[in-house]
Amino acid sequence: MFLDKKQLRVYNINGGGGITARRAKGEGSIYKDKQGYWNAQILLGYSQNGKPKYKKFRGKKQGEVVEKMNNFKLCAGTASAAIVQSMALDNLINTYIETVKKVSIRSTSYDSVLVSANQVNEHLGYLSISNLTPEIIQTDLINKMIELDYAYGTIHKAYVILNECLNYAVFKDYITKNPCMGVKLPSKDNFEKKERRFLNDDEIQTFKAQACVSQSNFNIPKYVYGNIICLILYTGLRVGELSALKWKDIDFQHKILSVNKAVVVVYDYSAKPKKRTLTVQDTTKSGKPRVIPLNQKAIQILETQRSLFGGDDDCFIVNGTKQIPDKTVVANSYSKIARAAKIPDPSGIHTLRHTFASSAIRKGVDIKVVSEILGHASVTFTYNTYVHIIDEQKARAVELLNDI
């Protein structure tokens, strides 16, 4: 419950046998009906004919109903300071995300925000916001996540959503100061950088051969998406971008491919169980469309794909139909092929994108060009991602000077 002892309601037996609460005007009332359910209602106002309008809540437990009512007040901005200050942090974070944060982010980003919020709630969610201190946040969230070996990015995202929520609480006068101001994030340099997995030359050839095998006694592909996912090796596409490609995005005459959208998975958490939906997002991850040149091997893959699946210009390349391909199924196909090809520690389908990038850098392609083809937000990000390969290239370059 949100209320402390000073705020506990005083109950009287009413004439109908239920229990009703004496509360201040506008705070709402709560009572237990003859069926044993707890009910609460808040007076919202009056209609033109003078009839009162109520918001009603019902549940099996008193605390459940009080929570629903107080969350509604919080969303409506009518909760009293006492209620807010005694409110658990997880309720405040969830309300902030649903009423403020959700409208300003993409649906795919919403899922990521929920993951970060759940991590905060796991460590601090039971505390009331009035009891939060910099020391508690530092010790029980940041330092604890470090101890549990979370990645720097994960810790940073958890901190960001907590800081945003508490800044909102300050703006709403729920608290006077954001305790995150006294919290220190760890240095990014203290975290071990995870090396990107990429296929070597032998593994590339083994993977391609396995991806294009036919079923026994049938001249049809063993892997539905085997041929088309090899396109990533020559374009560096993300799996969502590959899945969203339509034939109209390919210019065979000028040998270019236009990337301007991506297939994303959206979850409806209000549905029970949560509902999973595929949709085409009219932007890439970086938000910038790009054009990728196609070499002859990429052209051959696309020509083979059209001969296998067909489809007009408005059909998806991956399946030759107008039905949105499931990018998760496409990605899983990579894992099946890699296992069949006996490639050790193949990681996920993003390995093919890393393979494209590492191969391009090793062959001397300028890092800025690689960054533009990959659709990274900045050249700096590309450099930091593939710095180990760039360092190898530097070492080789210096070795070439031995004859001087």
Return d(Cα 253, Cα 191) in angstroms, integer: 47
Q: Is residue 292 domain-shared with residue 365, that is, in the same domain?
A: yes
pLDDT greater at residue 18 or residue 135: 135
Indicate if 218 and 322 belong to the same structural domain: yes
Given pLDDT bands bounded at 50, 70 and 90, which one contains residue 23? very low
Domain end: 120, 155, 190, which one? 190
Whether the link from the prior residue into 134 is cis, omega within 30° of 0, is no
Give the model's confidence band at 353: pLDDT under 50 very low, under 70 low, under 90 confident, else very high.
very high
Give SS3 for 270.
coil
45 and 74 co-located in one domain: yes
Looking at the structure, tell me whether residues 238 and 146 fall in a common domain: no
State residue 269 phi and psi, 5-degree precision.
-80, -10
Question: pTM score, two decimals?
Answer: 0.69
Question: Which of the four pLDDT bands, split at 50, 70 and 90, describes residue 1?
Answer: very low
Mean pLDDT within 326-350 = 94
Are residues 106 and 64 part of one domain? no
Same domain, 236 and 384: yes
The pLDDT value given to residue 3: 36
Residue ranges of the alpha helices (H) in 245-402?
296-309, 327-340, 350-362, 367-374, 379-385, 387-399
Select from 170, 190, 210 the last residue of a domain: 190
Would residue 196 count as lying in a domain? Answer: no
pLDDT at position 227 over 90:
yes
Across-strand partners of 268? 275
353, 213: one domain: yes
At residue 40, the pLDDT reads 85
Spatial separation of the C-alpha atoms in residues 250 and 262, rounded to whole Å: 15
Radius of gyration over every alpha carbon of the chain, rounded to an integer in angstroms: 28
Same domain, 214 and 110: no
What is the per-residue pLDDT for 28?
Answer: 57
Residue 273 in contact with residue 394, Cβ under 8 Å? no
Number of folded domains in the chain? 3
Residue 301: pLDDT above 80? yes
Is the residue at 195 inside a domain?
A: no
pLDDT at residue number 74: 65
Residue that the structure tokens 């026994």 belong to? 216
Which 3 state secondary structure label does DSSP give 195?
coil
Average pLDDT of span 293-306: 96
pLDDT of 86 reads: 64
Going by pLDDT thresholds of 50, 70 and 90, the confidence category of residue 6 is very low
Computed over every residue of the chain, the mean pLDDT equals: 84
What is the rounded CA–CA span in Å between residue 84 and residue 86? 5
104 and 234: one domain?
A: no
3-state class of 108 per DSSP?
helix
CB 121 within 8 Å of CB 93: yes
Mention every residue, 6+ apart, whose C-beta is less than 8 A from residue 211.
223, 226, 227, 229, 230, 337
DSSP 3-state of 113? helix
Higher confidence at residue 348 or residue 99? 348
Per the model's pLDDT, the better-predicted residue between 223 and 388 turns out to be 223
Residue 340 near residue 334, CB atoms below 8 Å: no
Q: In the predicted model, what is the mean pLDDT of residues 24-40?
A: 74
Residue 326: give its domain's CATH number: 1.10.443.10
Range of the domain at 141: 89-190
Residue 257 banded pLDDT, cuts 50, 70, 90: very high
Residue 148 has pLDDT above 50, yes or no: yes
Q: Are residues 70 and 97 in the same domain?
A: no
Indicate whether 64 and 118 sit together in one domain: no
pLDDT of 132 over the 70 cut: yes
